[in-house]
Amino acid sequence: MKKSYEIDMCNGPLLGKLLIFALPLMLSGILQLLFNAADIIVVGRFTGSHALAAVGSTSSLINLLVNLFIGFSIGANVLTAQYYGAKDQKNIHQTIHTSILISLIGGIILIAVGVLLARPLLELMATPEDVLDQATLYMKIYFCGMPATMVYNFGAAILRAIGDTRRPLYFLFTAGVLNVFLNLFFVIVFHMGVAGVALATIISQTLSAILVVRCLTNLDGICRLYLKQLKIYPEKLLRIVQIGLPAGLQGAVFSISNVLIQSSVNSFGSIAMAGNTAASNLEGFVYTSMNAVYQTALSFTSQNIGAGKYQRIGMILRRCVALVTIIGLALGGLVVLFHQPLLSIYSTDPEVISYGTVRLFIICLPYFLCGIMDTLVGMLRGMNYSILPMIASIVGVCGLRIVWIFTVFRWNHTLFTLYISYPITWALTACVHFGCYLWVRKRISKRAGAA
């Protein structure tokens, strides 16, 4: 069973293993997105544009509150992969049990934060009055499922660290089917609207969490989870925080800039918001496919650093950058090519489709730049440098976008001006990350005595 799911990242040819690792991750990410897509499609089709705008207006705010804790799962992934590469049984055991307990505590904290702050934060984002009540209700119910969401993400991160990306895919597929069925059932049969789709999401996320925990408790070998031995080991907590906190802060600050962009979109009215929501959801499928390469670079680099195979790092980078560029260009181009029928899935309103088209054309074609930027971040984190890419990303992406919103966008108040800030900041930040990679690679080579 062990040989069927794990991948040897430290020996042999790389390209085939990168693809075997990344493909299930791509499919898993797409399935996870389908949770939200099913919500959006069902409310857009059966409840109306206002409900569609209500669900969509919460996404950037949800990401803002959740990303900090999701960042810790990156710390768990890197640490587990490095200890696994070094075959360090004691430290793997402590890392896994600390990680799962952190996920539960983080989920409970997020329930309180989400329920208490949903309405004030949505009001702060200038959410229109005609969607505010529904958006608040959706967020409050959604956040009640945060413990399950956190457990699944941490559990899947541990499985990825040992090369297993297939079983998380199976778990998400099962949960995704349940989510779609419950969406239709709650909205069409019981007419529950946004409350129904939120409830369907947390039920399906709970199922995926149960399946991943069951998998970890049944593992053979050094990565097995023992529920009665859950404990926070201070040294491992500190290491997870050192790696994961910068990643979480970066994600949170990214979300702040996206919240500002969402607030700027809100100023164009609920129809523009609905179009933005539909387009953003379609972009998400391209992004999550590229993000699979980021996670692949992170896990492969971490294991090879743990095993002392420094000479493989450059090969991992070259293959991952080529892979993410191909994925970004191919999928981004397809979304633009078929934008009309794709947007029509979410809404048949011509105005909604028109607003969505503006966003897709500006963002999807150069989306591969974002993929390259993220892949370089994964390489740096896998090499134990997490603060450096955080600073570069916060300044290069978030800082520039915020400045753009309060200067260029204020002078020329159009959606084109707002959206063009995305590819500009991706390109500039990717160049900075590559310079950081060259510097870190040189330091590691000197330290290891390698050429």
Q: What is the pLDDT of residue 1?
A: 36
Q: What is the pLDDT of residue 450?
A: 46
Residues 293/368, Cβ–Cβ less than 8 Å: no
Q: What is the pLDDT of residue 2?
A: 43
Give domain limits for the chain. 11-446
Residue 247 structure tokens: 């990643």
Q: What's the 3-state SS for 58-105? A: CHHHHHHHHHHHHHHHHHHHHHHHHHHHCCCHHHHHHHHHHHHHHHHH
Taking only the tens place, the pLDDT of each residue in 168-194 is 889 988 988 898 889 888 888 888 888
How far, in Å, CA of 390 to CA of 379, rounded? 13
Please give the single-letter amino acid code of residue 225: L
Predicted TM-score (pTM) of this structure = 0.81
How far, in Å, CA of 59 to CA of 51, rounded? 13
Taking only the tens place, the pLDDT of each residue in 48-100 is 777 777 776 677 677 777 777 788 899 999 999 999 888 889 999 999 999 99
Residue ranges in the chain whose pLDDT is less than 50: 1-3, 450-451
Q: What is the pLDDT of residue 37?
A: 66
